[in-house]
Structure 1
Amino acid sequence: MKVTVDMGLCQDHGQCAIAAPLVFRINDEGHLEYDGTPDESERLNVEEAADVCPVQAILIED
Protein backbone atom coordinates (compact mmCIF):
# COMPACT_ATOMS: atom_id res chain seq x y z
CA MET A 1 0.00 0.00 0.00
CA LYS A 2 1.22 3.46 -0.88
CA VAL A 3 -0.22 6.57 0.76
CA THR A 4 0.08 10.03 -0.72
CA VAL A 5 -1.20 13.28 0.74
CA ASP A 6 -1.74 16.24 -1.56
CA MET A 7 0.00 18.83 0.59
CA GLY A 8 -1.45 21.56 -1.60
CA LEU A 9 -4.92 20.51 -0.44
CA CYS A 10 -4.06 19.46 3.12
CA GLN A 11 -5.04 22.03 5.73
CA ASP A 12 -3.56 20.16 8.72
CA HIS A 13 -6.92 19.48 10.36
CA GLY A 14 -5.46 16.33 11.92
CA GLN A 15 -8.47 14.05 11.46
CA CYS A 16 -6.19 11.53 9.77
CA ALA A 17 -3.87 11.50 12.80
CA ILE A 18 -6.84 10.60 14.98
CA ALA A 19 -7.99 7.81 12.62
CA ALA A 20 -4.53 6.35 11.90
CA PRO A 21 -2.00 7.61 14.47
CA LEU A 22 0.65 5.09 13.44
CA VAL A 23 0.64 6.51 9.90
CA PHE A 24 -0.22 10.22 10.27
CA ARG A 25 0.85 12.77 12.86
CA ILE A 26 0.86 16.50 13.38
CA ASN A 27 4.39 17.70 14.16
CA ASP A 28 5.41 20.34 16.70
CA GLU A 29 4.98 23.06 14.07
CA GLY A 30 1.38 21.96 13.47
CA HIS A 31 1.99 20.36 10.08
CA LEU A 32 1.16 16.88 8.86
CA GLU A 33 3.81 14.19 8.58
CA TYR A 34 3.03 10.69 7.35
CA ASP A 35 4.44 7.29 6.46
CA GLY A 36 4.01 6.85 2.70
CA THR A 37 4.42 3.08 2.85
CA PRO A 38 2.63 1.89 5.99
CA ASP A 39 2.25 -1.74 6.95
CA GLU A 40 -0.73 -3.49 5.39
CA SER A 41 -2.13 -4.02 8.90
CA GLU A 42 -2.90 -0.28 8.93
CA ARG A 43 -5.10 -0.41 5.81
CA LEU A 44 -8.46 -0.05 7.57
CA ASN A 45 -7.18 2.87 9.63
CA VAL A 46 -5.72 4.58 6.56
CA GLU A 47 -8.97 4.08 4.65
CA GLU A 48 -10.83 5.65 7.58
CA ALA A 49 -8.36 8.54 7.59
CA ALA A 50 -8.98 9.13 3.88
CA ASP A 51 -12.73 9.04 4.46
CA VAL A 52 -12.67 11.59 7.30
CA CYS A 53 -10.26 14.03 5.62
CA PRO A 54 -12.31 17.23 5.22
CA VAL A 55 -10.55 18.15 1.97
CA GLN A 56 -10.09 14.59 0.62
CA ALA A 57 -6.32 15.05 0.31
CA ILE A 58 -5.35 11.40 1.00
CA LEU A 59 -4.81 8.95 -1.85
CA ILE A 60 -4.31 5.21 -1.29
CA GLU A 61 -2.72 3.03 -3.96
CA ASP A 62 -2.14 -0.72 -3.95
Structure 2
Amino acid sequence: MRVVVDLTKCEGYAQCAFLAPEAFRMVGDEALLFDPAPSAELGEKVLRAAAACPVQALQVDLADLPVPPPAETVVAATDDRLRREGRIVVAGLWKAAT
Protein backbone atom coordinates (compact mmCIF):
# COMPACT_ATOMS: atom_id res chain seq x y z
CA MET A 1 0.00 0.00 0.00
CA ARG A 2 1.26 3.44 -0.90
CA VAL A 3 -0.16 6.74 0.30
CA VAL A 4 0.21 10.09 -1.43
CA VAL A 5 -1.10 13.31 0.07
CA ASP A 6 -1.72 16.32 -2.15
CA LEU A 7 -0.53 18.97 0.29
CA THR A 8 -1.92 21.73 -1.93
CA LYS A 9 -5.42 20.33 -1.29
CA CYS A 10 -4.93 19.39 2.37
CA GLU A 11 -6.54 22.00 4.59
CA GLY A 12 -5.56 20.51 7.94
CA TYR A 13 -8.94 19.08 8.93
CA ALA A 14 -6.98 16.15 10.47
CA GLN A 15 -9.65 13.53 9.89
CA CYS A 16 -6.88 11.18 8.77
CA ALA A 17 -4.95 11.72 12.02
CA PHE A 18 -8.04 10.87 14.07
CA LEU A 19 -8.83 7.70 12.10
CA ALA A 20 -5.30 6.38 11.54
CA PRO A 21 -2.95 8.02 14.06
CA GLU A 22 -0.32 5.35 13.39
CA ALA A 23 0.02 6.57 9.79
CA PHE A 24 -0.92 10.29 9.97
CA ARG A 25 -0.03 13.00 12.45
CA MET A 26 -0.71 16.73 12.55
CA VAL A 27 2.20 18.88 13.74
CA GLY A 28 1.31 22.41 14.67
CA ASP A 29 -1.74 23.91 13.02
CA GLU A 30 -1.21 22.80 9.43
CA ALA A 31 1.71 20.40 8.99
CA LEU A 32 0.77 16.82 8.15
CA LEU A 33 3.32 14.06 8.68
CA PHE A 34 2.42 10.71 7.13
CA ASP A 35 3.84 7.29 6.39
CA PRO A 36 3.96 6.89 2.59
CA ALA A 37 4.10 3.09 2.91
CA PRO A 38 2.00 2.01 5.92
CA SER A 39 1.96 -1.65 6.92
CA ALA A 40 -0.74 -3.99 5.68
CA GLU A 41 -2.15 -4.17 9.22
CA LEU A 42 -3.08 -0.48 8.93
CA GLY A 43 -4.77 -0.95 5.56
CA GLU A 44 -8.36 -0.64 6.74
CA LYS A 45 -7.64 2.39 8.93
CA VAL A 46 -5.76 4.15 6.12
CA LEU A 47 -8.59 3.50 3.65
CA ARG A 48 -11.13 4.89 6.12
CA ALA A 49 -8.94 7.93 6.71
CA ALA A 50 -8.66 8.57 2.97
CA ALA A 51 -12.43 8.23 2.54
CA ALA A 52 -13.07 10.64 5.42
CA CYS A 53 -10.87 13.42 4.02
CA PRO A 54 -13.32 16.23 3.19
CA VAL A 55 -11.11 17.59 0.40
CA GLN A 56 -9.97 14.16 -0.88
CA ALA A 57 -6.29 15.04 -0.49
CA LEU A 58 -5.27 11.42 0.24
CA GLN A 59 -4.73 8.92 -2.54
CA VAL A 60 -4.15 5.25 -1.70
CA ASP A 61 -2.58 2.80 -4.13
CA LEU A 62 -3.75 -0.72 -3.34
CA ALA A 63 -1.41 -2.44 -5.79
CA ASP A 64 0.53 -4.15 -3.00
CA LEU A 65 -2.53 -5.54 -1.21
CA PRO A 66 -3.74 -9.09 -1.86
CA VAL A 67 -6.90 -9.30 -3.93
CA PRO A 68 -9.79 -10.81 -1.97
CA PRO A 69 -11.76 -13.64 -3.57
CA PRO A 70 -14.92 -12.52 -5.37
CA ALA A 71 -17.95 -12.27 -3.13
CA GLU A 72 -20.99 -14.40 -3.70
CA THR A 73 -23.50 -12.64 -5.93
CA VAL A 74 -26.56 -11.43 -4.07
CA VAL A 75 -29.75 -10.76 -5.98
CA ALA A 76 -31.89 -8.01 -4.49
CA ALA A 77 -35.55 -8.61 -3.88
CA THR A 78 -37.84 -6.40 -5.92
CA ASP A 79 -38.97 -4.57 -2.78
CA ASP A 80 -35.45 -4.06 -1.42
CA ARG A 81 -34.71 -0.59 -2.80
CA LEU A 82 -31.34 -0.18 -1.02
CA ARG A 83 -29.85 -3.30 -2.57
CA ARG A 84 -31.43 -2.66 -5.95
CA GLU A 85 -30.26 0.97 -6.30
CA GLY A 86 -27.26 0.91 -3.98
CA ARG A 87 -27.79 4.46 -2.76
CA ILE A 88 -27.35 5.66 0.79
CA VAL A 89 -27.78 9.22 2.01
CA VAL A 90 -26.05 10.27 5.21
CA ALA A 91 -27.18 13.61 6.60
CA GLY A 92 -25.54 15.36 9.49
CA LEU A 93 -23.94 18.49 10.76
CA TRP A 94 -20.17 18.86 10.65
CA LYS A 95 -18.20 21.64 12.23
CA ALA A 96 -14.52 22.26 11.54
CA ALA A 97 -12.20 22.59 14.48
CA THR A 98 -11.28 26.17 15.26
Q: Which has the higher helix share?
A: 1
Q: Quote the Cα distance in structure 2 between the aligned partners of 1:16 and 1:7.
A: 13
Ranges in structure 2 where 5+ consecutive residues have no aligned partner: 64-98
Aligned AA for 1:45?
K
Ranges in structure 1 where 5+ consecutive residues have no aligned partner: none
Structural RMSD (CA): 1.0
Q: Which has the higher strand share?
A: 1
Please identify, of 29-38 and 18-27, the stretch whose mean Cα deviation from structure 2 is larger: 29-38
| Residues 1-47 of structure 1: CA deviation (Å, up to 9, x unaligned) | 00000001001110000010000000135411100001011010000
Query: If the length of structure 2 is used for normalisation, what is the TM-score?
Result: 0.60
2:32 is aligned to 32
Q: Quote the Cα distance in structure 2 between the aligned partners of 1:18 and 1:29.
A: 15
Q: Quote the Cα distance in structure 2 between the aligned partners of 1:32 and 1:11.
A: 10
- Misfit runs of 4+, over 4 Å: none
Higher relative CO (Cα under 8 Å, sequence separation at least 6) belongs to 1
Query: If the length of structure 1 is used for normalisation, what is the TM-score?
Result: 0.93
Q: Is the partner of 2:33 in helix, strand or coil?
A: strand
- Mark the structure with the bigger radius of gyration: 2
1:54 is aligned to 54
